């Protein structure tokens, strides 16, 4: 393969290790400076130029995009995607992971531990938000900080309010997060490549610092992860659709709490602490995935017209409950069952002998009208956990004393 490592730091440890690992496996690897690319947007002919010359063919790209050039870097990665080149992490996934709120919002609907977090804009919402995440002390965090900068511990409500207000007036978006004190200045960094954790370390903050970032003087030690931490790291990487990532988890009283997922994790700290060849694992993952560049399924289906994907529980659909797929003949109706999920099990590409049970969840592809006819008319309501606080949406008087 011919691999492009997109990086501004040719001499950096991570870049060098990726080049070495690629060469050791018989590939060509070139480090190209992200900011020396220019993009050509033309009908049916997306193209890239490097130092003003048309870029030659590459089989794969490893993006190492620094936080300061996110916008330009992601434009370049996106252009490679339009050209059908495999990228180790997709631009959309990198963009999601860059924003600490956006990423944990996406994680929150899955069974993945995250610190209780609030995001509010109105001044009057700050104190209730602090209360909802468990009260002070509380963490206030800018959404796109790195290396511990922009992560502040507020000891009391007055300080928390002042920090939020100051940052907001400086046009910074901030979130309010429960301070996981039992983690005591320590956290876990797990490197997930593909669908497995290839290396993990604990980072421990120095002195009375609560931030364990290596850039804040945190020291590192190799750890063997508990299965719960391993499962959480892998799920987080999968949900955010990253092939290469560093998942940061606090060690909460109830287990792992994902704070953020980094799409260009540094390799020096982790390889130094664990002795694992992480760069090699990244190259091997690319070898296995290079034939599967991005496909935007929703978009393709829309372009086809009239077809779509639907997922629904089997609930009050007598015509299919308890029946074998061969007896229903969905194919004749232009519907194909892709996966049947039953509890923790999944039957992928089921065949005629597979049966549909009440309570199964079906993932189907098919003609939209036929899908609509098949789906339950009314979906069972999701149970919501009990929380304190009444609804405020009918109170048009707000807090004007009414
Ligand atoms: N909610 C929290 N509770 C306790 N410690 C936290 C919390 N959030 C962050 N930290 C500490 O601060 C460090 C930096 O926070 P993080 O969200 O990872 O931002 P950055 O992108 O700057 O690394 C973490 O590694 C952790 O040690
Ligand atoms: Mg971090």
Q: Quick one: pLDDT at residue 386?
A: 78
Considering every ligand atom shown, identify the ligand nearest to the alpha carbon of residue 118 and give its number: 1
Nearest in space to 216 (alpha carbons), one of 204, 232, 231: 204
Please give the radius of gyration of the chain, using alpha carbons only, rounded to the nearest integer: 24
- Name the residue of 114, 148, 153, 247 to mutate for ligand 1: max ligand atoms within 8 A of Cβ: 148
Report all structural domains of the chain as residue ranges with CATH numbers, in order of start.
2-97 (3.40.50.20), 116-179 (3.30.1490.20), 183-289 (3.30.470.20), 297-374 (3.30.70.1450)
Q: Quick one: pLDDT at residue 289?
A: 96
Ligand 1 close to Cβ of residue 263 (< 6 A) = no
Q: Is the pLDDT of residue 399 over 60?
A: no
How many whole angstroms separate alpha carbon 191 and alpha carbon 181? 24
CA of 33 from ligand 1 middle (Å) equals 30
CA of 17 from ligand 2 middle (Å) equals 22
Q: CB count, 10 Å around CB of 191?
A: 27
> Residues 179-210: pLDDT tens digits?
999 998 999 999 999 999 999 999 999 999 99
Let me know: does 282 contact 244? Beta carbons within 8 Å: yes
Q: Quick one: pLDDT at residue 402?
A: 41
Mean pLDDT of all residues in 10-36 = 98
What is the percentage of the chain residues whose pLDDT exceeds 90?
87
Q: Quick one: pLDDT at residue 172?
A: 93
CA of 137 from ligand 2 middle (Å) equals 19
Q: CB count, 10 Å around CB of 302?
A: 12
> What would the two tokens of residue 282 be?
């990244």
Q: Is the pLDDT of residue 111 over 70?
A: yes
CA of 218 from ligand 2 middle (Å) equals 11
- Say what the pTM is: 0.92
Ligand 1 close to Cβ of residue 264 (< 6 A) = no
Mean model confidence pLDDT for the chain: 94
The atom number, within ligand 1, closest to the CA of 149 reads 22
How many whole angstroms separate alpha carbon 290 and alpha carbon 61? 10
Site of tokens 């597979």: 354
């Amino acid at each position: 393969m011919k691999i492009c490592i997109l990086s501004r730091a040719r001499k950096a440890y991570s870049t060098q290790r990726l080049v070495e690992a690629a060469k050791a496996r018989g590939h060509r690897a070139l480090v190209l400076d992200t900011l020396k690319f220019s993009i050509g947007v033309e009908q049916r002919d997306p193209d890239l130029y490097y130092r003003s010359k048309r870029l030659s063919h590459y089989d794969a790209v490893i993006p190492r995009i620094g936080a300061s050039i996110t916008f330009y870097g992601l434009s370049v990665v996106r252009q490679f995607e339009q050209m059908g080149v495999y990228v180790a992490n997709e631009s959309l996934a990198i963009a999601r992971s860059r924003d600490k709120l956006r990423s944990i919002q996406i994680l929150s609907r899955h069974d993945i531990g995250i610190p209780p977090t609030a995001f509010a804009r109105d001044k009057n919402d700050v104190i209730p938000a602090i209360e909802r995440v468990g009260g002070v002390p509380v963490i206030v965090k800018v959404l796109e900080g790195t290396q511990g900068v922009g992560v502040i511990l507020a000891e009391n409500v007055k300080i928390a309010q002042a920090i939020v207000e100051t940052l907001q007036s400086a046009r910074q978006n901030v979130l309010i997060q429960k301070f996981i004190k039992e983690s005591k200045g320590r956290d876990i960094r797990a490197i997930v490549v593909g669908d497995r954790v290839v290396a993990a370390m604990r980072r421990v903050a120095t002195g009375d610092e609560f931030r364990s970032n290596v850039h804040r003087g945190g020291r590192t030690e190799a750890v063997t992860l508990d299965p719960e931490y391993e499962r959480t790291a892998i799920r987080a990487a999968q949900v955010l659709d990253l092939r290469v990532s560093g998942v940061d988890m606090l060690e909460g009283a109830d287990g792992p709490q994902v704070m953020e997922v980094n799409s260009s994790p540094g390799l020096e700290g982790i390889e130094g602490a664990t002795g694992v060849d992480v760069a090699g694992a990244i190259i091997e993952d690319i070898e296995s995935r290079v034939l599967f560049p991005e496909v935007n399924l929703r978009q393709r289906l829309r372009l086809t017209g009239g077809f779509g994907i639907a997922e629904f529980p089997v609930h009050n659909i007598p015509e299919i409950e308890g029946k074998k797929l061969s007896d229903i003949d969905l194919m004749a109706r232009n519907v194909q069952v892709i996966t049947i999920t039953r509890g923790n099990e999944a039957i992928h590409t089921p065949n005629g002998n597979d049966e549909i049970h009440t309570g199964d969840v079906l993932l189907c592809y098919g003609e939209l009208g036929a899908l609509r006819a098949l789906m339950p008319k009314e979906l069972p309501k999701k149970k919501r956990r009990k929380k304190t606080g009444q609804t405020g949406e009918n109170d048009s008087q707000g807090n004007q004393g009414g």
